[in-house]
């Protein structure tokens, strides 16, 4: 199935959109390497350089569809709110990329309407902090809490 990201040509920067089938394979591999990772309500996932939002969206889908997550949060809206508030995190390098990614990730359900305090997606270019070795400290500052490290 095609989607809009298939039509975006390669950029002159490193902001290349990963095709949806590749994203699904990446998440499949994550699950193979970490069996049951989508069944744990306290497990966190982060995309440090969001471009389209496809990766986080696929993570959300897997968490939302998990049998154990459904048992822990039988109400679908409560489950989604938990996932967005406690489990998925992302940084977008520019304002326009942030708007594209959050629109894609959060735009599926008009009734959900999450305020920024109810999700963990922020506009920040993580690359300079990664290069300087200060990314972990910056993440804690941006999200107002230390993220669980695996």
pLDDT at 39 over 70: yes
The answer as to whether 93 is a domain residue is yes
Q: What is the pTM of this model?
A: 0.84
- pLDDT mean over 23-36: 94
Query: Quick check: is 133 in a domain?
Result: yes
In this structure, is residue 131 part of a structural domain?
yes
| Contact (Cβ atoms closer than 8 angstroms) between residue 27 and residue 75 | no
Q: How far apart are CA 12 and CA 28, in angstroms?
A: 29
Q: What is the pLDDT at residue 144?
A: 87
Q: Is residue 1 part of a domain?
A: no
**Residue 66: per-residue pLDDT:** 97
Q: Which two tokens stand for residue 18?
A: 């990963």
Per the structure, the complete domain to which residue 83 belongs is given by: 16-31+43-143
- In this prediction, residue 20 carries a pLDDT of 87
Quote the pLDDT of residue 62: 97
Question: What does pLDDT average to over the chain?
Answer: 87
The partner residues of 140 in beta bridges, in order of sequence, read none
Q: What is the percent of the chain where pLDDT is above 90?
A: 69
How far is the first Cα of the chain from the last one, in angstroms, to the nearest whole number? 34
pLDDT at 9 over 60: no
The residue with greater pLDDT, 18 or 121, is 121
How many separate domains does the chain show?
1
Q: Confirm whether 119 is domain-assigned.
A: yes
Residue at 20 is within a domain: yes
Contact 50, 81 (CB under 8 A): no
User: Considering the domain boundaries, does residue 36 fall inside one?
Assistant: no
Q: Does residue 149 lie in a domain region?
A: no
Q: Which range has the top average pLDDT, 1-10, 14-23, 62-71, 106-115? A: 62-71
């Amino acid at each position: 199935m095609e989607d809009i990201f298939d039509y975006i040509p390669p950029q002159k920067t490193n902001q290349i959109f990963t095709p949806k089938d590749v994203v699904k394979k990446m998440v499949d591999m994550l699950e193979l390497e970490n069996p049951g990772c989508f069944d744990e309500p306290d497990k966190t996932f982060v995309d440090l350089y969001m471009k389209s939002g496809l990766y986080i969206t696929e993570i959300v889908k897997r968490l939302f569809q998990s049998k154990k997550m459904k048992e822990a949060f039988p109400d679908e809206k409560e489950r989604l709110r938990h996932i967005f508030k406690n489990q998925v995190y992302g940084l977008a390098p520019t304002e326009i990329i942030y708007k594209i990614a959050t629109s894609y990730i959060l735009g599926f359900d008009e009734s959900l309407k999450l305020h920024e305090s109810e999700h963990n997606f922020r506009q920040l270019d993580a690359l300079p902090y990664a290069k300087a070795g200060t990314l972990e400290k910056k993440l804690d500052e941006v999200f107002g809490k230390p993220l669980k490290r695996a």
